[in-house]
Amino acid sequence: MECTRTSLLLSLVGILGLLAHPAAFGQASGAPRTLPSFVTAVQEPAITILAASTGAVLRSLGSANASLDLGRVSYFKGTSASGASSTKTSNSLVITTRFILRVDCPGPTTRLSQVSVSMSRLDASPSHGMAIDGISLGTAEQTLVPSMPCGSAGEHRLDVEVPVSTLAGAIGSTIAFVATLRK
């Protein structure tokens, strides 16, 4: 979404630049016209969610959006999705899968730049708990990766804990990942 706004802003600046120079349209140039300076939006690092070779099926829902398909899950039968496994406890079923996060940075020095990646849960569903790499997810932002080079990727483990008392039906949650350029 941020890239779209940046593209529109850059296009607008380009059009205004042409209007500022009448000679570009074959008109005589007189006294130079000045335009107010524009500050272009700084692009943020982009996170891409990829399927891990040992993970569940990943469905892409558009730019920077993806969904992991954990298939049908049963306390007694486990999971039906390839790339997902389950473990029973006395009170819950924990479904585990793997995925990859790739972070790309704008600009010419991408390999030299470092980013930190944080995560948060955008829903507060009491029906199931979630953890990534053992870090329980909540609505407050938490650090997943303190530092990683731009242009790199890392594999992560997702655990979804569904209590035995949860009614049958679909469950879903949304997790937000944010990459912050470190100076």
- For residue 167, the model assigns a pLDDT of 83
- 92 lies in the same domain as 168: yes
Residue 140: which pLDDT band, with cuts at 50, 70 and 90? very high
Is residue 49 scored above 60 in pLDDT?
yes
- 133 lies in the same domain as 169: yes
Is residue 99 scored above 90 in pLDDT?
yes
- 178 lies in the same domain as 101: yes
- 33 lies in the same domain as 54: no
- 33 lies in the same domain as 71: no
- 36 lies in the same domain as 56: no
- For residue 59, the model assigns a pLDDT of 85
- For residue 137, the model assigns a pLDDT of 94
- Mean residue pLDDT of the chain comes to 76
- 104 lies in the same domain as 161: yes
Long-range CB contact pairs, 53-62, < 8 A, 24+: 54/83, 54/98, 55/83, 55/84, 55/97, 55/98, 55/99, 55/100, 56/81, 56/82, 56/83, 56/84, 56/97, 56/98, 56/99, 57/81, 57/82, 57/83, 58/99
- 35 lies in the same domain as 119: no
- 109 lies in the same domain as 127: yes
Helix (H) or strand (E) holding 61: strand 57-62
- 75 lies in the same domain as 24: no
Is residue 111 scored above 90 in pLDDT?
no
Of all residues in the chain, what percent carry a pLDDT higher than 90? 43
**Stretch 21-42: mean pLDDT, rounded?**
44
182 and 147 in contact (C-beta within 8 Å)?
Answer: yes
- 10 lies in the same domain as 75: no
Number of domains the chain contains: 2
- For residue 109, the model assigns a pLDDT of 58
Domain boundary among 43, 58, 73: 43
Q: Which domain holds residue 72?
A: 46-182
CATH of the domain at 54: 2.60.40
- 105 lies in the same domain as 23: no
